[in-house]
Structure 1
């Protein structure tokens, strides 16, 4: 099950960083840079979790929390540089599940999201970040790919595609999900991108690219990274 996250954050660099990190975790990510954009998405998208900054250009992000609570019981996490205890207490009393002060680590954010979802009855296991299968080793935290012990150079897009598969190693990831998470929602119809980059990855990581052992095709559905070894 793919969970939908609405991320309301006006800092473009942070928004992109969080969007990419969440997408690699398997979330479908919707982004808003303002209260008005966030309200429009809340009205139509029905997110499973809300991440919101407070200092948005057209108003306070707390308006999104209030709107969410009027519509559904999805968890909401505030991510803000504001540190006043009174503000934190007020937002938690208003229905926020957690309050994370900037700057914060991605790992901590993901863990707090899993806790908030678990409290709503949705269990989310931590994604795979270290992968070993035969002669292939992938270490996502350190951005390292080794084949027979030697480092493999991947382009940013190749690495992003591989990392997305690692996060759900052993499971099929659909063409649509890969296109959305790696390239963006506007590329849903561009399946030739997947074929091209999967071919490039296989050329670099497979002993016999025509008979892959690591990067497997699920015909008509998507791709799957072989089950990791214990």
Structure 2
């Protein structure tokens, strides 16, 4: 698979150049923009496949860019921002950002998150597999059967629905509210405690070692992410 065309929307020239040079070393095609207006223009002109977006742009807040883009595009957006507060991460992800990296950051981490998104893109348009296999976990979606090390385990309907949601969005950070809406069917902050209880039960059933989570990673204060790496 060819490397993606990536649009960087970042007004800090040092950071923009650093990301651009690093990506080009790995043969990515890179377009840069230093403002929201320039970024939206180049999005329309160059048809990138991934956007790396700063929130503190000189002409508009990056959150507004996410909101605008989500009205007509599902392009993956990785936020790279100095805003490290929990509420900023949650708002960006709830608006439709695919991932969130806080400055300062290691380029290796950003590259890894780009590769996760590329794998997700490559699976789009492909029929969902009847069986999902990762390490010692097997899920038969057709039969709604889950096995650990070849042995059947029982999941409640909510636990199964939660596991399916995480697997379908593997590699992506899902906020508490996003999960609650898709598992319970409505949004309610008071249900975060219920989510934690169900998540703990699910982990106890599918994780080999509860002290070192193999599949379900906690994004502290934000939500959860399923990893198949």
TM-score by length of 1: 0.51
2:89 matched to which residue of 1? 88
> How far apart, CA to CA, are the structure 2 residues paired with 1:120 and 1:2?
11
> How far apart, CA to CA, are the structure 2 residues paired with 1:110 and 1:93?
23
The structure-2 alpha-carbon separation of the partners of 1:71 and 1:46, relative to structure 1 and needing over 3 Å to count, comes to farther
Q: For residue 53 of structure 1, report the CA deviation from its aligned partner.
A: 0.4
2:74 matched to which residue of 1? 73
1:102 aligns with 2:115: no
- Structure 2: gaps of 5 or more residues: 125-229
> How far apart, CA to CA, are the structure 2 residues paired with 1:48 and 1:117?
9
**Is the Cα–Cα contact under 8 Å of residues 4 and 118 in structure 2 kept in the other structure?**
no
Q: For residue 56 of structure 1, report the CA deviation from its aligned partner.
A: 0.7
Aligned residue pairs, count: 123
> How far apart, CA to CA, are the structure 2 residues paired with 1:28 and 1:45?
11
2:64 matched to which residue of 1? 63
1:38 aligns with 2:39: yes
> How far apart, CA to CA, are the structure 1 residues paired with 2:84 and 2:91?
12
What is the DSSP-based 3-state SS (H/G/I as helix, E as strand, rest coil) of the residue aligned with 1:92?
helix
**Is the Cα–Cα contact under 8 Å of residues 35 and 63 in structure 1 kept in the other structure?**
no
Q: For residue 59 of structure 1, report the CA deviation from its aligned partner.
A: 1.2
**Is the Cα–Cα contact under 8 Å of residues 7 and 31 in structure 1 kept in the other structure?**
yes
Q: For residue 122 of structure 1, report the CA deviation from its aligned partner.
A: 5.8
Q: For residue 76 of structure 1, report the CA deviation from its aligned partner.
A: 0.7
> How far apart, CA to CA, are the structure 2 residues paired with 1:115 and 1:64?
22
User: Map of 1:144-223 to 2, 5 A cutoff?
Assistant: none
**Is the Cα–Cα contact under 8 Å of residues 78 and 101 in structure 2 kept in the other structure?**
yes
Q: For residue 2 of structure 1, report the CA deviation from its aligned partner.
A: 4.0
**Is the Cα–Cα contact under 8 Å of residues 76 and 97 in structure 1 kept in the other structure?**
yes
1:7 aligns with 2:8: yes
Q: For residue 101 of structure 1, report the CA deviation from its aligned partner.
A: 0.3
What is the DSSP-based 3-state SS (H/G/I as helix, E as strand, rest coil) of the residue aligned with 1:56?
coil
1:113 matched to which residue of 2? 114
1:51 aligns with 2:17: no
